Chain A
Amino acid sequence: MSTIAAISTGQAAGGIGIVRISGENALFVADRIFKSVSGIELNKLSGYRATFGKVYFDNKPIDEAVALVFRAPKSYTGEDTVEISCHGGLLVTKQVLRAALQNGAVPAEPGEFTKRAFLNGKMDLTQAESVMNIISAKSEQAKAAALNTLDGALFKKISEISLSLKRLAAQMAAWIDYPDEEIEDLTDENITNVLKSAKNELNILLSRFDAGQVIIEGVETAIIGRPNVGKSTLMNMMAGYEKSIVTSVAGTTRDIVEETVTLGNIVLRLADTAGLHETDDTVERIGVDRTKLKTGRASLILAVFDSSKELNEEDEEIFKLCEGKNAIAVINKTDLKTKINAEKINDLYKNVVYISAKEQNGMTELEKAIEKTLGTENFDTTAAVLMNERQYTCCQTAFNSLDEALDALNSGMTRDAINVNIDVAVENLDILTGEKATESVVNEIFSQFCVGK
């Protein structure tokens, strides 16, 4: 495999930047760009040894750095690896990377270090996927959830469910394959209990998925409302600093301004939209159309209303956009005299929050309402969580298959068919954890039952 290199400390400016080089030529690539003070070449060093020196780009020293050597297979990727830690900030780190790329390395694809670690047998599939999620984890809680899977909470949970099904399948198989042995016939009740309990466990995982995704992936959030109700002020309040131009002239925000903010546990990708009102201004028209499009895609809508004004036809438009969506009514400008028909809003929205963006009031209430709406309140990040669609699909297939088994059992289908449903569930759970569909059921038979002539 080729030798790859990338900045492994993220693209933000920080104290120390690390460039990681991995692959069979990693040490030689590193030797071309790094000269140690002691004069020793990196390819002469054993694993876990570090040396201090200078990094060169176009034969000119660009930074002082520490090079750390890992020898295959004892590295993250399982390959020979050098990590060069420099401290000159992002620009210098980028130069170090460029130097490596000019000297025989190729740029790593996103997640390629992890992919190699997986391919080299350094981690199992669920672990690999967790790491991928850590790399792009967008908040502290996302990292906690990802780390949790890395520790194996999901792996453990799925393995538990799978084992209970394997035991059941093994007992059914032994009962079928050894009809002459004294193997207890499973009652419908026995089977039903195991299937139901596995199904419930899967259901818990499945039902936590959306909330888990909110925490891992963040949420597309659209802030909508009539012109000048204070959408941009709200966004700025949430983001903590000004980005949109805030004036009192209706229609200041002509396009969508995006911002990522962390609110409590959740990363919201906020889109401040152009105010919704009928307009002849072409530019503004485009803004309004894009608002509608954006709102359609958003998973969460913050519908802002002006407390000091009565509801009008444009607000009706807002109500329509919120239909069938996760929407929160945010009644702004509570610092002014109330004119709004709050009853109507209370009828239409499950969650209504009163704020004064100007006076920075009501943020805590808003945060709570968002968590409630997204189902992330009381989300236990230490429990197993499905990380991605692939895992979700496996669980869902297993779940459906158990459901079918229960139906079949109820309607009096023969056990051979039910056994096949259980096999399908086990197979999908094994796929989820990256285990090879093995002879696990057969092995269970021999460890559990005294069978044979």
Chain B
Amino acid sequence: MEYFAKEYDVAVIGAGHAGIEAALASARLGAKTIVFAINLDSIGNMPCNPSIGGTSKGHLVREIDALGGEMGKAADKTQIQTRMLNRGKGPAVHSLRAQIDRREYSKYMKHTLELQENLDVKQAEIVDLKRTEDGKWQLKTMLEAIYSAKCVILATGTFLGGRIYIGEVSFESGPDGMFPATKLSQALKQMDIPLRRFKTGTPSRVNRRSVDFSVLEKQEGDETNTPFSFETKETPENKSFCYIAYTNDDTKEVILKNLHRSPLYSGKIEGVGPRYCPSFEDKIVRFPDKLRHQFFIEPCGLDTEELYLQGMSSSLPEDVQLKFLRTIKGLENVEVMRTAYAIEYDCVDPLALKPSLEFLDLDGLFGAGQFNGSSGYEEAAAQGLIAGINAALKVKGEEPFILDRASSYIGTLIDDLVTKGCMDPYRMMTSRSEYRLLLRQDNADIRLTPYGYKLGLISEKRYNAFQLKMQLIKDEMHRVEETTIHVSDELQELLVSRGTAPLNKGVKLVELIKRPQLSYEDLAPFDTNRPELPEEIFEQVEIALKYEGYIKRQQAQINEMRRLEVKVLPDEIDYNVIEGLRLEAREKLTKIRPHNVGQASRISGVSPSDISVLLIYLSKMGL
């Protein structure tokens, strides 16, 4: 029998990476919050790769941290190997990635939720969701408890309508053997929420004892590790290794012979899979000329023998999986502990959302993470944070917090989703950000911590430390502008050896730092009064000087972009009565209802002339 359980400001459905950040942000901003999970042991689970970060994802984690989110801290605490990727390719694309002890990560997150003030954690499947007459939301659990909340955040991941495919076998299931959420989709459909099916997959986990490491290439962590969080003071320690393995012709042959048994190729799966995360059989079919495929063997934790085979996702039958794995050098006797699978799930067309991640038409209902069509733990966490912040702000009656593309990867991610939509699960990439020379992982705090502080997610103590850092950067910048470096034989020798012009007379230090051929470190012997400062201070000064031209230009582009970004398009605009808009533009604008002209200009199908029409219309209306 139904019973009324409790009333909250904010209810979060799902406690994966999106749900966690949403629940924490909401509770930390003072909203009375509850987070539901089908199984509390799945909080912060990593049902796919046991790692956090990577190209552009590392940027997201840094940004989440700069705004006061939890992911970076949890990763720092539970990492077992860390690497800074893309060293040497330029500061804009340096990306931190850490292998994570997945059970430890999950434990850390569960405990953090449990300890959080204003937050209740509840194991329950939500089976119904509807709006009541007072404008609040009513949630019903499988056990018939009724909860009420002013705002609800859907962070259902692959649980929602989840169905697993392994060869000819398929069954309803959540990720990693969890129960799926089978009823909630129906309630969402009744509210006309545009749901669709996406698909993703994960490779097998194998037992370490069955792998012959003597024939595999070992991959070690960095010598000096960098943490994700700007607040983490201790340097993360490498505790484990990864290995590199290669497929061969035999592997390919097994795949090709058994392709007809794949649910992807036999047409059983209707969901759209991600392009960047193809199953192994996809890779073989799409790139038939490739002789071998490289993949990584990663530890799942320190107190488990399970290993993750990154790059070998598959939905072929279990017997075929075992057969093709055993063709690989080093895996001849491999024992599979968990079989690879494809999973299909319900998610929303994110064009139905505002940049605040609230639904355009459903007041107080928000979406985050895979539910919004994205993929990846970091992408999920970033959206969870923003949805949580905005739900809490809504409860307080305050304006939503929106990050634009120029501010962050988070802003770029959300703008892409709600403006362009996605045809397959969306993964963040550095190439998606047009301002990437400014949006670096090293300056995430400079870009975002002031916002985090203003929101109330950054402590006074941390903010003071941040301000001190800013002051030190400013002072050091001033110093290098004022310091004169005199000509000396040693200096000329260095300049010539680096292929840069020797000096005629003494110059300001700043001029030498600007030269791409020279590093800050190179100049230390000649810069005799250099103060003792944390490395990050020098780094900021060096990047600002070396990339000055680029940075200025991108800043100018941003200023240009923001001109349109401040022209707000009121919610009630009727695009059908604006003269001069093309039909396609009318339809797209009516559907997406962009927040401002800048967002409108990025909608595919809205042309520059449509934008002129909109600007003319706004000025006619005196807006």
Contacts and interface: CB of A to CB of B under 8 A. Distances in A.
Interface stretch (B99-107, B222-230, B448-456, B577-585): B577-585
Interface stretch (B88-96, B186-194, B254-262): B88-96
B429 A442 contact: yes
A450 B584 CA distance: 35
A450 B286 contact: yes
Interface string B269-291: 00000111110000100110010
A412 B546 CA distance: 11
B576 to A, nearest CB: 13
Contact of A1 (B86, B515, B580): B580
Interface stretch (A29-37, A174-182, A254-262): A174-182
Interface stretch (B60-68, B360-368, B430-438, B615-623): B430-438
A245 to B, nearest CB: 50
B93 A416 contact: yes
B417 to A, nearest CB: 13
Interface in A174-207: 175-182
A120 interface: yes
Contacts of B92: 414, 416-417, 420
Contacts of B48: 453
Given A176-B431, A177-B55, A436 B604 contact: yes
Contact of A182 (B294, B434, B607): B294
Contacts of B278: 450, 452
B294 A181 contact: yes
Nearest to A414: B90
Contacts of A438: 604
A91 interface: no
Nearest to A424: B553
Contacts of A120: 582-583
Contacts of B274: 452
Contacts of A419: 431
B531 interface: no
B202 to A, nearest CB: 9
A169 interface: yes
Nearest to A181: B294
A441 B429 CA distance: 11
B93 A452 contact: no
Nearest to A120: B582
B516 interface: yes
B290 A169 contact: no
Given A415-B89, A442-B431, A176 B290 contact: no
B123 interface: no
A10 interface: no
Contact of A177 (B49, B430, B515): B430
Q: Point out which of A173, A411, A420 has the most chain B C-beta atoms below 10 A from its C-beta.
A: A420
A434 B610 CA distance: 13
B431 A452 contact: no
B276 to A, nearest CB: 5
B7 to A, nearest CB: 43
Given A414-B90, A415-B89, A442-B432, A453 B294 contact: no
B471 interface: no
A436 B516 contact: no
Interface string A414-447: 1111011001000000000010101101100110
A445 B431 CA distance: 10
Interface in B46-60: 48-49, 55-56
A420 B437 contact: yes
> How many of chain B's residues touch chain A, expressed as a range?
35 or more
B429 A412 contact: no
A119 interface: yes
A173 B86 contact: no
Contacts, number: 112
Contacts of A416: 89-93, 430, 436-437
Contact of B91 (A169, A181, A414): A414
B547 interface: yes
Nearest to A411: B516
Contact of B431 (A169, A179, A182, A413): A169
A451 interface: yes
Nearest to A176: B93
Contacts of A453: 48-49, 203, 277, 310-311, 313
A326 B580 CA distance: 45
Interface string B581-612: 01110000000000000000000100101000
A446 B420 CA distance: 18
B430 A176 contact: yes
A14 interface: no
Interface in B209-227: none
Q: Point out which of A417, A439, A442 has the most chain B C-beta atoms below 10 A from its C-beta.
A: A417
Contacts of A61: none
A121 B89 contact: no
Given A414-B90, A420-B550, A173 B431 contact: yes
A450 B287 contact: yes
B296 interface: yes
A398 to B, nearest CB: 15
Contacts of B432: 439, 442
A119 B293 contact: no
Nearest to B551: A417
B85 interface: yes
B397 interface: no
A71 B581 CA distance: 20
A178 B283 CA distance: 15
Nearest to B286: A450
B534 interface: no
B91 to A, nearest CB: 7
B488 interface: no
B502 to A, nearest CB: 16
Interface string B405-424: 00000000000000010000
A179 B276 CA distance: 13
Interface of A: 1, 118-121, 169, 173, 175-182, 408, 411-417, 419-420, 423, 434, 436, 438-439, 441-442, 445-446, 450-453
Given A413-B546, A453-B203, 17 more contacts: A119-B580, A173-B429, A175-B89, A176-B55, A176-B86, A177-B431, A179-B85, A412-B517, A414-B88, A420-B92, A420-B437, A420-B550, A420-B554, A434-B607, A450-B278, A450-B286, A451-B276
9 closest A-B pairs by beta carbon, nearest first, are: A416-B90, A414-B90, A173-B431, A416-B92, A450-B287, A446-B275, A412-B516, A452-B277, A452-B276
